[in-house]
Amino acid sequence: DHLINQIAAGEVIERPANALKEIIENSLDADASYIDIQLEAGGIKRLTVTDNGQGINETDVPLALQRHATSKISTLDDLEKVVSMGFRGEGLASIASVSRLTLTSRTAIAAHATQIFAEDGKLSPVKPAAHAPGTTVDVVELFFNTPARRQFLKSPSTEFAHCRTIVERLALAHPNVAFELQHNSKNIFTLPAQSLSERCTAIMGVDFTAASLNVDETINGMRLNGLIGKPTFAQGKTSQQYIFVNQRFVRDKIILHAVKQAYNDVLHQALTPAFVLFLTLSPTDVDANVHPTKTEVRFRQSQAVHQLVFHALNKCLAATNA
């Protein structure tokens, strides 16, 4: 099983940022309203995430580090979520197989927290520990036992940049969750729970938010909402183009094309607008079969998606430009 976990880790965990994404997504799945992220040396040396979510029962703590122990499928709704988001029940097991990982967790009703330590695929016995309700995942020396993988890592500052990108995307997708990010004990940002536009200001800068328009359009149960740069702020950077499908960051040619076409139609020039757009649709209308580290999706009705995005933005831009 250790080998299987390492192979699975090789597929999904290429660098600290991938591990960080899996861990933060678990915190979000556990309904945390506060997530604290501490990184050392770009997350290579250490990566610690603490949340105030539901926590894990004492008996379930060892299971959380085993493959396919996912607890996330109990209703049909969950199954659809799993289908669309690709919960695989192997994130923590994979990370644990290529690091020294300590999991400490406590549910709201537990008298104390429970802790377990994993190294090189071996689990320690669980022991009681002190921790507020919630969970801490502490990953030390990622890839210490997979030197080939370790060699592929870039400098700590590059790995940190990847981690920061992951945190920024997750923070934009979940403005109602408070995030704190520190690197080498230096505070990078502290974000309280806030509105989407406040979160956009925190991540993208007030220049963007001040020069943005609100979009919110629903057609046939498919919703597009978010902020788009005004015509005067339509020469942004591709790094300021965020598309979320059912709250997951994606890169999508169809949506991007529809956005550019909407600007072009009103302003008659090819632009690189900054935007943060959320497309929300039935999970069954998004193709499931995507690799967890990839950010592409496939829509069952891509034409309807294109039309919604074009129509919503075009309307908004035309009204401003009139």
Query: Choosing among Mg ion, ligand ADP, none, which partner's interface includes residue 72 (Cβ < 5 to 8 Å by kind)?
Result: ligand ADP
**Which x/- pattern, by CB under 6 A, does the window 117-136 give for ligand ADP?**
------------------x-
How would DSSP label each residue in 256-290? Answer: HHHHHHHHHHHHSS--B--EEEEEE--GGGB----
**Does residue 252 bind ligand ADP (CB under 6 A)?**
no
**Kind of pairing, strands 34-40 and 178-183?**
parallel
**The binder of Mg ion chosen from 5, 6, 18, 26 (CB under 5 A):** 26
| Residues 6 or more apart whose Cβ sits within 8 Å of residue 285 | 222, 299, 300, 301
**Does residue 71 bind ligand ADP (CB under 6 A)?**
yes
**Kind of pairing, strands 241-245 and 275-280?**
parallel
**Kind of pairing, strands 46-51 and 127-129?**
unpaired
**Does residue 55 bind ligand ADP (CB under 6 A)?**
yes
**Does residue 26 bind ligand ADP (CB under 6 A)?**
yes
- Taking CB under 6 A as the binding criterion, the range among 21-29, 163-171, 234-242, 294-302 that sits at the site for ligand ADP is 21-29
Q: Residue 196: enclosing H or E segment and its boundaries?
A: helix 196-204
Q: Residues 45, 141: contact at Cβ < 8 Å?
A: yes
Query: Choosing among Mg ion, ligand ADP, none, which partner's interface includes residue 30 (Cβ < 5 to 8 Å by kind)?
Result: ligand ADP
**Which x/- pattern, by CB under 6 A, does the window 135-164 give for ligand ADP?**
x-----------------------------
Query: Choosing among ligand ADP, Mg ion, none, which partner's interface includes residue 262 (Cβ < 5 to 8 Å by kind)?
Result: none
How many residues form the binding site for ligand ADP (CB under 6 A)? Answer: 22
**Does residue 56 bind ligand ADP (CB under 6 A)?**
yes
Rounded Cα gap, residues 73 and 82, in angstroms:
7
The number of beta carbons lying within 10 Å of the beta carbon of residue 319 is 10
From the CB of 64, what's the least distance to Mg ion, in Å? 9
Strand partners, 138: 48, 102
Interface of this chain with Mg ion, residues 83 to 122, rule: CB under 5 A: 91
Query: Choosing among Mg ion, ligand ADP, none, which partner's interface includes residue 246 (Cβ < 5 to 8 Å by kind)?
Result: none
**Does residue 87 bind ligand ADP (CB under 6 A)?**
yes
**The binder of ligand ADP chosen from 11, 45, 57, 72 (CB under 6 A):** 72
> In terms of CB distance, is 137 or 262 closer to Mg ion?
137
Rounded Cα gap, residues 11 and 15, in angstroms:
11
Query: Choosing among Mg ion, ligand ADP, none, which partner's interface includes residue 54 (Cβ < 5 to 8 Å by kind)?
Result: ligand ADP
16-29 vs 156-173: helix crossing angle, rounded to 10: 20
Planar angle of CA 224, 227, 233, nearest 5 degrees? 135
**Does residue 89 bind ligand ADP (CB under 6 A)?**
yes
From the CB of 22, what's the least distance to Mg ion, in Å? 5
Rounded Cα gap, residues 245 and 190, in angstroms:
25
Amino acid letter for position 106: R
Contact set with Mg ion (CB under 5 A): 26, 91
Contact set with ligand ADP (CB under 6 A): 22, 26-27, 30, 51, 53-56, 64, 69-72, 87-93, 135
